[in-house]
Structure 1
Amino acid sequence: MRVVVQRVSAASVTVAGEVCGQIGPGLLLLVGVEEVDGQQDIDWLVRKISQLRIFNDDAGVMNLSLLEQGGEVLAVSQFTLFASTRKGNRPSYSRAARGDISRPLFEQFVDSLSRVLGRAVPTGVFGADMQVALVNDGPVTILLDSRDPE
């Protein structure tokens, strides 16, 4: 699984003109699922995201985690995180999991993160054409890949 983590002042996702998820200060997560992903990928990412120290403390230093800071989270599925352009200019998404595989894993990821945080994590609509709006705070943007844990 790959997750683009963006620290935001605000973010929202809209489908067919209707806002289906929105948050204030916190994290926007763009989540891509690969065919080989499973529960171990979810567990690693949930632990990493919840403990990632990317919120400022009183001294203005990025020293607080999501658990310590209490920010909100918005999760959006995004198969394009597995795009490849090795053979030309048109992206190939062959590494992205099909919907019947990626949807349950995305939902498990959201459920696991919700349990760890102790609050609901709003999402977009899986497989829909979504418009995501955000105000990146910092800017802080981090790419996490469960297949390449650093």
Structure 2
Amino acid sequence: MRALIQRVSEAEVQVDGAAVGSIGPGLLVLVCAMQGDDEARAEALAGRIARLRIFRDAGGKMNLSLRDTGGAALVVSQFTLAADTSRGNRPGFSSAAPPEQGKALYEHFAQSLHALGIEVATGEFAADMKVRLVNDGPVTIWLDQ
């Protein structure tokens, strides 16, 4: 699985003009299931993200995790993270998992984060979403699991 995470002060996702998920301080997690991914990879990625020490401690160092801070995660499915731009000008997405598998792994990933004690809000799989965020730092990190 692949994720792009952004440390945020707040984030919200809208579908058809209505908010479907929002958080205060925490992480916006854009996630993509790739060909060959399974539930074990989704769980491993969730664990990595929950434990990743990218929040400031009292001394201002990035030393605290999402679990340490009690922050939330806004999980948004984004198959375009699978983009292959190695040839031509039009990205290819054949390395993304098929839609049914992608949706199941996206949901399993969000449930796995929740099971780790993280408050989770989500977008809507395969919807045309509008994502608004205030990036804190900015801190943006790419993860492959």
Calculate the TM-score normalised by the size of structure 1.
0.94
Following superposition, the deviation at residue 98 of structure 1 comes to: 1.6
| 5+ long unaligned stretches in structure 2 | none
Q: Which residue of 2 aligns with 1:85?
A: 85
Once residues 62 and 22 of structure 1 are traced to their aligned partners in structure 2, the CA distance between those partners, rounded to angstroms, is: 24
Once residues 90 and 37 of structure 2 are traced to their aligned partners in structure 1, the CA distance between those partners, rounded to angstroms, is: 25
**RMSD over aligned Cα atoms:** 0.9
Q: Which has the higher strand share?
A: 2
Q: Which residue of 2 aligns with 1:124?
A: 123
The answer (yes or no) to whether the contact 1:103–1:126 under 8 Å persists in 2 is yes
Q: Which residue of 2 aligns with 1:46?
A: 46
What secondary structure sits across from 1:122 in the alignment?
strand
Once residues 98 and 42 of structure 1 are traced to their aligned partners in structure 2, the CA distance between those partners, rounded to angstroms, is: 15
- Cα distance 1:118–1:5, how it changes in 2: closer, same or farther (>3 A)? closer
Runs of 4+ in 1 over 6 A off after TM superposition: none
Following superposition, the deviation at residue 47 of structure 1 comes to: 1.3
Percent identity of equivalent pairs: 52
Once residues 10 and 19 of structure 2 are traced to their aligned partners in structure 1, the CA distance between those partners, rounded to angstroms, is: 13
Q: How does 1:69-84 map to 2 (within 5 A)?
A: 69-84=69-84
Q: Which residue of 2 aligns with 1:138?
A: 137
The answer (yes or no) to whether the contact 1:35–1:101 under 8 Å persists in 2 is no
Calculate the TM-score normalised by the size of structure 2.
0.97
Q: Which residue of 2 aligns with 1:28?
A: 28
**In the TM superposition, what whole-angstrom CA distance separates every residue of 1:83-102 from its partner, at most 9, and x where no partner exists?**
01222001111111121110
Following superposition, the deviation at residue 43 of structure 1 comes to: 2.2
Amino acid at match of 1:102: G
| 5+ long unaligned stretches in structure 1 | none
The yes-or-no answer on 1:12 pairing with 2:12 is yes
Following superposition, the deviation at residue 40 of structure 1 comes to: 2.2
